[in-house]
A and B are shown apart, each in its own frame.
Chain A
Amino acid sequence: MIITVSPDQGSPARQIQDQISGLITTGRLGRGERLPSVRQLASDLDVAPGTVAKVYRSLEADGLLVSRAGSGTRVSDQAAPVSSAVAQAARRLAGAARRDDLSLEEAVLVLRMTW
């Protein structure tokens, strides 16, 4: 999952927050999944660390993220509809299907047949 920041779509903090909360609420980020550190995400997106720290604090206040000393920032257990294991397995399936040039419908069919 890649998130981006573009200069012509509003404040970087808003863009980052919208994308992360979108990934959590749609189940693409599972319960308990670890997020990158503030410093790593800020460096990757070329924004100030304070911007990312503000976003994380805001998402924590919304109940989407939890931060614990020593274990970093994770998706809150109450926020995501699916577990981390299911989200990761779904990403692996999507990646493998794309590598084999399957369409979304074909990938869903595979999943349905193996259910």
Chain B
Amino acid sequence: MPWTLLWILLWPTLASILLGVAAWLVIRRGARPVLVGRVPAAVVAGIAVLVMALHPVLGAAPLRLDAPTEVWRTLIDSRFALPLVLGLPALLPFAVVRPRPSTTAGALLAPRTWRSFLSSWWLCALLGVLALILGLTLAAGLASQPNDAGEYALYAVDFGSGAIGATIYGWHYSLVPSVLWVLLGAATWWTLTRIARPPLDPAQAADVTDRHLRSANAARIALGALLLHLEAVVRSLANTSRMTGSFSGSDDLSFSAGTPFSALTGSLDLLAQVAGVLGLALWVFTALTAVTVPSAARAARTAVRS
């Protein structure tokens, strides 16, 4: 595969990694790494990042490899569901791995719910992105028509003297992802509940800080999955908006026509890029919360020792 193609396919991943690492160095400076379930959380988030990075490369493999069309079709179609499928197991370590029960020093007389350790900003971000996905899914679904195979994945524009058509993120493509993001929402709620439920440790301040970090990590995983799904949807809509056709009129004059939302192509491309880079950066950041940020003082000590 030529280097230029590899660069085109991988630069968003590299940008996400750089953004995630930069954010980790700035935001987590001086903070302790996540205490409970740090290894499984880092491994699962790291694997999710790796799979998302490899997916576009595998999608471009037909350019160099000869393989059945069905295999590549399935691989390319999986781009809508893949982030959501990866997000579900990436949430598990935060829900399943729980702190060892310690002798309780007493009970704090305040309710602990799934909201107790989660900042409202995360909730707003999750609901905002979900609303955007829902809106785009409904709009694209309503605009879709059955294609030759009877699948609601065709967007056609009739110009009287002819019609043009292209694939759209219609009901055919959005059904499985819609079920998956409902599952992701339920899994996020369950994870946050599991983080909040156990009794607080006698070392209360450290325990509360750790639960805030684990709740934020669960929100980061869910938001990352939704943003990566949004990227796939918006990119698909951008590709649909590029559809054009040339027709001949009654006076033998030919004209070109496109989709009613062709003016949005640039904005859709930009939105897809931003959503994709941000989504993957959130997963990179989550994997890194298991690691202590190297401090300048520690680096200096190591240099002196050696």
Enumerate chain A interface residues (CB-CB to B < 8 A): 1-5, 20, 23, 29, 34-37, 40-41, 43-46, 72
Contacts and interface: CB of A to CB of B under 8 A. Distances in A.
A7 to B, nearest CB: 12
Given A2-B105, A45-B104, A46-B104, A36 B199 contact: no
A46 B103 CA distance: 9
Given A4-B106, A44-B104, A45-B104, A37 B199 contact: no
Judged by DSSP, the binding face of A is mixed
Nearest to A47: B107
Interface string B103-130: 0111111111000000000000000000
Contacts of A40: 107, 111-112, 197
B200 interface: yes
Interface in B27-72: none
A20 B109 CA distance: 9
Interface of B: 104-112, 197-200
Nearest to B103: A46
Nearest to B198: A43
29 contacts: A1-B109, A1-B110, A2-B105, A2-B106, A2-B108, A2-B109, A3-B109, A4-B107, A5-B106, A23-B109, A34-B110, A34-B111, A35-B109, A36-B109, A36-B111, A36-B112, A37-B111, A40-B111, A40-B112, A40-B197, A43-B197, A43-B198, A44-B106, A44-B108, A45-B106, A45-B107, A46-B104, A46-B199, A72-B111
Judged by DSSP, the binding face of B is loop
B199 A44 contact: yes
Contacts of A29: 109
6 shortest interchain CB distances as A-B pairs? A44-B107, A4-B106, A2-B106, A44-B199, A1-B109, A36-B111
Nearest to A73: B111
Contacts of A3: 106-107, 109
Nearest to A29: B109
Nearest to B109: A1
Nearest to B199: A44
A8 B108 CA distance: 21
Contacts of B198: 43
Find the residue from B109, B197, B198, B200 having the highest chain A CB count within 10 A: B109
A22 to B, nearest CB: 11
Nearest to A40: B112
A13 B109 CA distance: 15
Nearest to B101: A46
A29 B104 CA distance: 22
A108 to B, nearest CB: 24
Contact of A1 (B104, B108, B200): B108
Nearest to B196: A40
A87 B118 CA distance: 23
B111 A44 contact: no
Contacts of B108: 1-2, 36, 44
Contacts of A34: 110-111
A37 B113 CA distance: 10
Contacts of B111: 34-37, 40, 72
Given A2-B109, A35-B109, 20 more contacts: A1-B108, A2-B107, A3-B106, A4-B105, A4-B106, A5-B106, A23-B109, A29-B109, A34-B110, A36-B107, A37-B111, A40-B107, A40-B112, A40-B197, A43-B198, A43-B199, A44-B200, A45-B104, A45-B106, A45-B107
Contacts of A1: 108-110
A23 to B, nearest CB: 7
Nearest to B200: A44
A72 to B, nearest CB: 7
B67 to A, nearest CB: 54
